[in-house]
Amino acid sequence: MKLFDRKHRSFGAVFGVGLLMLLLVACGNSGTTTTTSAPTNGKGCTKVGILLPETASSARWDSKDKPLLTQKIKAVLPAGATVDYNNAGGDSNVQQSQAQADLTKGDCILVIAAHDGAAAATIVASANAKSVPVIAYDRLIQSKDLAYYVSFDNVKVGQLQGQYIVDHYKNFVSPGKNHLVMIDGAQTDNNALLFSQGAHSALDPLISSGALKKVYEQFTPDWNNDTARTEMDGALTANQNNVQIAYVANDGMANSVIASLKAKKLNGKVLVTGQDATVAGIQNILTGDQAMTVYKAIDKETQATADLVKAIYNGSGASSLTNGTVKTADGTSIKSVLETPVAVDKTNIQSTVIADGFVTKADICQGLPAGTGGIC
């Protein structure tokens, strides 16, 4: 009888301990959070991480996107909210490390302009495992787990560039001199593929008809401006300087292409496109070395991103904020905000980028002779 009592008491003690452990686990999984836990799916989140891709490809990232994103996101969150900013400096591994650091310190919404849209899918997976929503900013990330995508209609960007060539190429070509060079962006950036797609939709009929002869096309790793110079040097050499049209995907690379043309005294004689409406790009348009650029109102893009952050913070839907979807490579539709790009040349600089305060007359006229482009 005593032996039974001892066994009974031992069993009771073990059962009691087990029951207590089960209760503790149940409490731990009840969905309640302490004040130090990260909010689930971003609701109530006051720690946002911004991760931008590089600085060398375009002046926009640090001069426009960084300050506007930081300012606007803080404005929609309660006082005391923090925004962590990192720039990958053109290195996908660095961006991965920066994202992991943000997640480790409790950032509960991430805004990412990916250096490499495919590689950044790993960041989204890590964030998703922690119930941290990711907004793909400007560049699409190839992940089905994205919360939202904010950018411009990037096929339209390329169409604007290509259509400008269609509308103006006759001023630059002559019999036997109708050569087209195409210097595209980085193939790891989904936007560059869309720009190219849009440009080709406008240009391919001219190429097929023989009105233009495409003699060179190359995607440019990392949107590297120095590489773009090398590419243009090579295209000129291969064609004995017989180039009349240079489709160039953005202003930074266009500036390098213009340097290549200047070395051959061809600047102003070749139609050069661009994108981003940078100060240097606008200056090149005013001096006649570049024909056009594409203005993307970053103020609108950053505001749309901040509005989505606010909706996530509130735990409310964002159907009234999005205006379309974009598909990732696997066919997943991502709810998106797509702003409208605008073609800019010497005829509308004043009514677009200057009127909007995107660039100032003082900035674009600095170092230029009075009267340049009819603006300075």
3-state SS of the chain: helix, strand, coil percent to 5?
A: 45, 15, 35
Pinpoint the alpha helices (H) of the chain. 2-28, 60, 66-76, 92-104, 121-129, 154-168, 190-209, 225-238, 251-263, 279-287, 298-314, 361-365
Number of Cβ within a 10 Å radius of residue 272: 29
State how far the Cα of 194 lies from the Cα of 30, in Å rounded to an integer: 46
Residue 15, token pair as written in the block? 């059962």
User: Which pairing describes strands 333-339 and 148-152: parallel, antiparallel, or unpaired?
Assistant: parallel
Cα of 178 vs its chain's centroid, Å = 33
The domains found in the chain, sorted by start residue, are: 45-153+297-339 (3.40.50.2300), 154-296+343-374 (3.40.50.2300)
**3-class SS of residue 22:** helix
Residue 35 has a pLDDT of 33
Closest to 89 (Cα-Cα) out of 97, 101, 81: 97
At position 247, the amino acid (one-letter code) is: Y
Judge contact between 182 and 214, C-beta under 8 A.
yes
Residue 39 has a pLDDT of 59
Judge contact between 280 and 356, C-beta under 8 A.
no
**3-class SS of residue 278:** coil
Q: Which residues contact 74 (CB under 8 A, 6 or more apart)?
A: 81, 83
State how far the Cα of 38 lies from the Cα of 103, in Å rounded to an integer: 10
User: Which pairing describes strands 213-219 and 245-248: parallel, antiparallel, or unpaired?
Assistant: unpaired
**One pLDDT digit (tens) per residue for the chain, 376 residues:** 444 444 444 434 444 434 333 333 333 443 333 333 445 699 999 999 999 999 988 889 999 999 999 999 999 999 999 999 999 999 999 999 999 999 999 999 999 999 999 999 999 999 999 999 999 999 999 999 999 999 999 999 999 999 999 999 999 999 999 999 999 999 999 999 999 999 999 999 999 999 999 999 999 999 999 999 999 999 999 999 999 999 999 999 999 999 999 999 999 999 999 999 999 999 999 999 999 999 999 999 999 999 999 999 999 988 899 999 999 999 999 999 999 999 999 999 999 999 999 999 999 999 999 999 999 9
pTM: 0.84
Judge contact between 150 and 134, C-beta under 8 A.
no
Angle between helices 92-104 and 121-129 (to 10 degrees): 10
Judge contact between 353 and 306, C-beta under 8 A.
no
Residue 3 has a pLDDT of 41
